[in-house]
Structure 1
Amino acid sequence: MKAIKLHGRRLNDVLATAPFAVLPLGSVEYHGPHSPLGTDFFLAEGFADAIDPALNPLIYPTVPFAPCPGKTQDYLGTVSVRPEVFLSYLTDVVEGICRQGIRNIVLLNAHDANMGPSRTVAEAVTGRYKDASFLIVNWWQMVAVPFAEEQGLFQGTAGRGHGGPYEMSAVKAFYPELVLVGEEDAELQPPPPLSPLPYVLVEGTPQGWAGYTGSIRQTSLQAGQTIVAEAVKNMNELIRHWLLMRRQEYAGEEITR
């Protein structure tokens, strides 16, 4: 159910029974000549709409603007919000949802630079609302890294990367007409990983970069549909487990009372 479509006379009943709220997080950011500025917006909104309606989510409007990294800020089309402004804004939005009586909130993210702020806000708000629970879902983490190789979706690459075939195939699954790879669009390869272990490397001008990276000619609707189906399946399973855990917590509280 879309929160902004609720009429005032229905608010009390809906807010009293909604098991959780969903706040999608996107960005307006350059993703290459082949990709829409709203790439992250469309992905966040698309995955929010793909949540199983049987779970009865209350879906809030997708947040369109966000902090963007230094490596994309200067590209035409990117609109970046200062991190401190975004933290305050997101905190106000989330606390506004909590004040409606909702204590279970999914922050459904499609923009890498939203990961840190989302965690920071969730940690801060749970300090004030002790009974709140935040599930932070980054859509690309809903698919195991080896999945693309196992499915034979891409050749010689995992496809992941900003504006790369993994991300843009997923956008194509939602909006096929918005991803257009031309013959003049360069394919760019990032350097090999520094370690098989997880790490974070932040650079203003990384190698293999022109506002995007990757073997973009491998972008395809079929790959996107496969990736999105896997992500949606795993996302819904995760949300179901989370809600079950929360119901068990509530039941335990009632028993102890």
Structure 2
Amino acid sequence: MDIREVHGRDLQTVLEEVHFAVVPLGSIEYHGPHSPLGTDVILANGFAERLHPDLKPLIYPVIPYTACPGKTRHYPGTISVSPSIITDYLYEIVDGICQLGIRNVLLLNAHDGNMGISRTVAEAITATYKDASVLLVNWWQMVTMQSAEEAGIFTGTTGRGHGGPYEMSVVKAFRPDLVHVSDSDVDLSANHSLSNLPYVLVEGSPEGWNGYTGHVQQTSLEAGKWIIVEAVTNLHQLLENWLQKPVMKDGGEQLDGKSRVYYGK
């Protein structure tokens, strides 16, 4: 259900029916000459709209403006908001949702710059609302590297970089009219990882970068459709597991002996 379509007189009835709120997180950011500036808005909205109604989501409008990294900030069309401002802004939104009595909030993210901000907000919200649960999901992590490689949707590249074929194939599947790779759009190869051990981020302008990265000539409608099906299936399973978790009080004991949501009832 879309919050924008809920009448004031019906709000309480809706709140009694929904299981969680969804806040899609995007950006207005350069994604290469072949891609729309609203790539992350399209992705966040696209996945929010594909949540199954049986999950009882209450979907809020996408947040389009946010902090963008230095490596895209100076490309034309990027609008970057100070991290402190977007952190406060997102906190106020989630706090307003919690004030309605909703305690499950999904932050459905399509922009890597939102990850740190979202975690900060989630930690602040759950400190205020002890029975709240904030789930941060980055859509691109809903498809495993192994499954993508086994499906053979790309050749010689994982394609997961900013503005690359993984991301832009999905945008093409959502909006075929908005992704246009021409013969002049150069395939770029990212530098090798610093280690096979996990690390979070090295910020800066990497090798194989021109406001986007990846072998963009491999962008395809077919790959995008496959990724969407795989991502949505895995996202639904994650949400079902999340909604069935028990509500916990401080100290770890279960609140009232009940689960957070009895899914399907």
TM band (smaller chain): over 0.9
Kindly report the root-mean-square deviation, in angstroms, between the aligned alpha carbons of the 2 structures. 1.6
Which letter maps to 1:254?
D
Which letter maps to 1:69?
P
- Aligned counterparts of 1:28 and 1:79: Cα–Cα separation in 2: 6
TM-score computed with the length of structure 2 as normaliser: 0.93
- The Cα shift of 1:167 comes to 0.5
> Structure 2: which 5+ residue stretches go unaligned?
259-265
- The Cα shift of 1:201 comes to 3.4
**Is the Cα–Cα contact under 8 Å of residues 17 and 56 in structure 2 kept in the other structure?**
no
- Aligned counterparts of 2:200 and 2:179: Cα–Cα separation in 1: 28
**Alpha-carbon deviations, 1:107-155, whole Å to 9, x = none?**
0000000000000000011000101001111001111112221101111
**Is the Cα–Cα contact under 8 Å of residues 146 and 158 in structure 1 kept in the other structure?**
no
Match of 2:263 in 1: none
- Aligned counterparts of 1:53 and 1:229: Cα–Cα separation in 2: 16
Same amino acid, percent of matched pairs:
59
- The Cα shift of 1:205 comes to 2.0
- Aligned counterparts of 1:46 and 1:255: Cα–Cα separation in 2: 36
Match of 2:202 in 1: 202
- The Cα shift of 1:17 comes to 2.4
Match of 1:111 in 2: 111
- The Cα shift of 1:248 comes to 9.5
- The Cα shift of 1:255 comes to 4.2
> Structure 1: which 5+ residue stretches go unaligned?
none
- Aligned counterparts of 1:253 and 1:120: Cα–Cα separation in 2: 25
1:7 and 2:18 aligned? no
Kindly tell me the number of residue pairs found equivalent between the two proteins: 255
Match of 1:192 in 2: 192
**Alpha-carbon deviations, 1:182-205, whole Å to 9, x = none?**
111111111111222222333332
- The Cα shift of 1:83 comes to 0.2
- Aligned counterparts of 2:106 and 2:149: Cα–Cα separation in 1: 29
- Aligned counterparts of 1:187 and 1:157: Cα–Cα separation in 2: 10
- The Cα shift of 1:244 comes to 1.0
Which letter maps to 2:98?
C
Moved more, 237-246 or 66-75: 237-246
TM-score computed with the length of structure 1 as normaliser: 0.96
1:77 and 2:77 aligned? yes
Q: For 1:36, what is the secondary structure of its paired residue? A: coil
Match of 1:143 in 2: 143
**Alpha-carbon deviations, 1:72-130, whole Å to 9, x = none?**
00000000000000000000000000001100000000000000000000001100010
